[in-house]
Amino acid sequence: NITGKFNILRSGAEGAGPRGVAVAEGISATINLLMQKGDARILANPKLVARSGHSADFLAGGEIPVVVVGQYVSRVEWKRYGIMLAITPEVRPPQAVSTQIRVEVSTLDRANAVQGIPGILTRRVATAVLLRPGQTVILSGLLSHEASKDVDKVPLLGQIPVLGELFKSRHFQNRLTELAIFVTPALIVDEDPASQRTLTEMRERYDRAGETLKFHLMD
């Protein structure tokens, strides 16, 4: 649960939005506090730029090849997994942004692999909100529950029926995690110095990523 001194303006999307959607202001300090306590960590921090009425998307993850066998020919399809975010903003006068947000979080499920190809566990949510620049929409409720059991045993002695239980130890672990997505819109105006700084920062990040990729390819 996210608690702290920030202002929740609306809880729940207007209309047929999903549960776990809220609009807040001044939430950065709360997130920093949770990170300092070790109760939260940032998985990705993308910045997307899109024209009004157009879409932009982001993927932090990868793709796995899946062989699809047809009647006469086989082909390979690539399935994406990870954290996928897609936004479609639209500027509404005088100073508001109507935003459609689609989030999908998927992980590889190797326990249900078929012919060595893992399955994909997926959680997704979609909503539409009307925000002022600087407001933050919070998408939560993306829960993940993992249960695991490890068995340690003394070699040979642990394999003896009945008596072998005396030479075994079992470790059970339950882990419940919740993923929260924070989206904060900002209007970029050509003449605005703050907008120019944002664009410059994004170009520098793009150039650094390109140099890093080039280094790895040439290594």
Q: Show me where the domains of the chain are located.
A: 7-187, 188-219
pLDDT-derived band of residue 196, with 50, 70 and 90 as boundaries?
A: low
Is the pLDDT assigned to residue 110 strictly greater than 60? yes
- Exposure b/e, 144-175, CB count within 10 A at least 16 = b: eeeeeeeeebeeeebeeeeeeeeeeeeeeeee
* Distance of alpha carbon 80 from alpha carbon 46, whole angstroms: 18
| Cα 138 to Cα 116: distance, rounded to the nearest angstrom | 37
Tell me the average pLDDT across 137-149: 70
Which residue from 112, 174, 185, 100 is spatially nearest to 143, judged by alpha carbons?
174
Q: How far apart are CA 42 and CA 96, in angstroms?
A: 27
Among 43-52, 139-148, 209-218, which is the least confidently predicted range? 209-218
Residue 187 above 70 pLDDT? yes
In this structure, are residues 24 and 9 in contact, taking their beta carbons and an 8 Å threshold? Answer: yes
pTM of the model: 0.59
CA–CA distance, 2 with 85 (Å, rounded to integer): 21
Q: With contact defined as beta carbons under 8 Å apart, do 81 and 62 qualify?
A: yes
State the pLDDT confidence band at 112, using cuts at 50, 70 and 90.
confident
Which has the closest alpha carbon to 56: 47, 64, 65? Answer: 47
Q: Residue 9: how many CB atoms within 10 A of its CB?
A: 14
> Worst-scoring range by mean pLDDT, 12-21, 37-46, 98-107?
12-21
Show the CA angle centred on residue 110, arms to residues 109 and 116, nearest 5°: 130
pLDDT band at 203 (very low <50, low <70, confident <90, very high): low
Model confidence at 88, pLDDT cuts 50, 70, 90, reads very high
Q: Which of 142, 123, 134, 143 has the alpha carbon at shortest distance from 183?
A: 134
The separation between CA 170 and the C-alpha centre of its own chain, rounded to angstroms, equals 33
Q: Which residues pair with 177 in a beta bridge?
A: 144
Residue 219: per-residue pLDDT: 43
Q: Compute the distance between CA of residue 205 and CA of residue 184 in angstroms, rounded to an integer.
A: 19
Residue with the bigger pLDDT between 103 and 197: it is 103
Is it the case that residue 71 has pLDDT exceeding 50? yes
* Mean of all residue pLDDT scores within the chain: 73
